[in-house]
Amino acid sequence: MSFSPAWLALREPADSAARNQEVLAACAQHFAGRADIKVCDLGAGTGSSLRAFAELLPPTQHWTLVDHDAGNLAAARAALAAWADEATDSSQLVLKHGGKTITVQTTVRDFAQAPVCWPETTDLVTASALFDLASAPWIARFTAALCAQKIPLLATLTANETITAVPSHPLDTKVIAAFHAHQTSDKGFGPSAGAQATAILEQSLKAGGYTLTTGDSPWRLAPSELLRATTEGMAAAVSETKAVAADDLAAWLNHQREKTSQLTIGHRDVFARP
Ligand SMILES: C[S@@+](CC[C@H](N)C(=O)[O-])C[C@H]1O[C@@H](n2cnc3c(N)ncnc32)[C@H](O)[C@@H]1O
């Protein structure tokens, strides 16, 4: 499954507004007072986790961005250089931003078979909008490895079950149920945990002895390009399930395009430490 840099750029401002401030503060508090930190971001895309989390973390940061999509990681280097106050890009990217000095390495790797893809000395694993793509067994293997190494995790924007459009449409329940069913299709990890991912992740981390700070991080979208792209993406996914007649689905999508004044898409964030 691919996520284009254009789609990731479209969602980044909404992601940034949605992340749960209590969860972010718990992460910042945990690392407060340290001079430096080594972070590994899984499913890094174009680097939005780094842009979102850098301000929470110590003055000197070493990031490893891991993704199987080489195009996204190339876009990440360019986007991070543009975001920084100063940037030099040779074998590793060195950024200055908001008083932080940040070195960045990018690693093209598919971690579906082997979740442990972080460097040995990693202090913090991060991920945004990743775990709902993964399968329940993958999440269990990931958390078992993380907990065995006692590495904290900051995971944001894992999609949950909440999808609410205002005003409602008579087909909402049917369309949303079909969308949730589509969310459990295989995204490369085996059948996806989809909307159950947050519960599975949180339970596994607790079972591994971690202390969690959790919170909701919904998108609350007003009419916008992102709202339109989101409902069109939902309709395309639902159409693949064949659970809703094509005419009905077209009528539902038309209603979303013309009438929806607010679309809420639920997510959950967690900071977990040993
Ligand atoms: C929904 S995007 C999120 C990207 C970024 N974290 C963000 O919030 O903008 C999921 C990312 O995970 C990557 N990904 C999905 N499956 C992967 C796998 N098996 N191995 C490595 N990366 C993967 C995709 O290429 C994509 O960049």
> pTM of the prediction?
0.97
For the CA of 45, the nearest atom of ligand 1: 27
Instruction: Quote the pLDDT of residue 1.
Output: 60
Q: Are 143 and 208 in contact (CB under 8 A)?
A: yes
List the chain residues with pLDDT less than 50. Answer: none
49, 67, 132, 269, best to mutate for ligand 1 pocket (most atoms within 8 Å of CB): 67
Return the half-sphere exposure (C-beta side, CA atoms, 13 A cut-off) of residue 115: 20
Instruction: Quote the pLDDT of residue 2.
Output: 67
Q: How far is CA 105 from CA 71, 91, 185, 221, in A?
A: 15, 8, 31, 33
Our CA angle for 186, 122, 194, nearest 5°, is 20
Instruction: Quote the pLDDT of residue 92.
Output: 83
Query: 5-162+190-221+264-273: CATH homologous superfamily?
Result: Vaccinia Virus protein VP39 (3.40.50.150)
67 has which bridge partners? 108
For the CA of 187, the nearest atom of ligand 1: 16
Instruction: Quote the pLDDT of residue 90.
Output: 80
Task: Indicate the DSSP class of residue 54.
Answer: G
Instruction: Quote the pLDDT of residue 91.
Output: 75
Q: How far is CA 189 from CA 7, 67, 170, in A?
A: 22, 14, 34
Please provide the average confidence, as pLDDT, over all residues in the chain: 97
Q: Are 132 and 55 in contact (CB under 8 A)?
A: no
Pocket of ligand 1 (CB under 6 A): 3, 8, 15, 43-45, 48-49, 67-69, 72, 110-112, 128-130, 133, 188
Ramachandran region, residue 189 (left: φ > 0; alpha: ψ -120 to 50; beta: rest): alpha
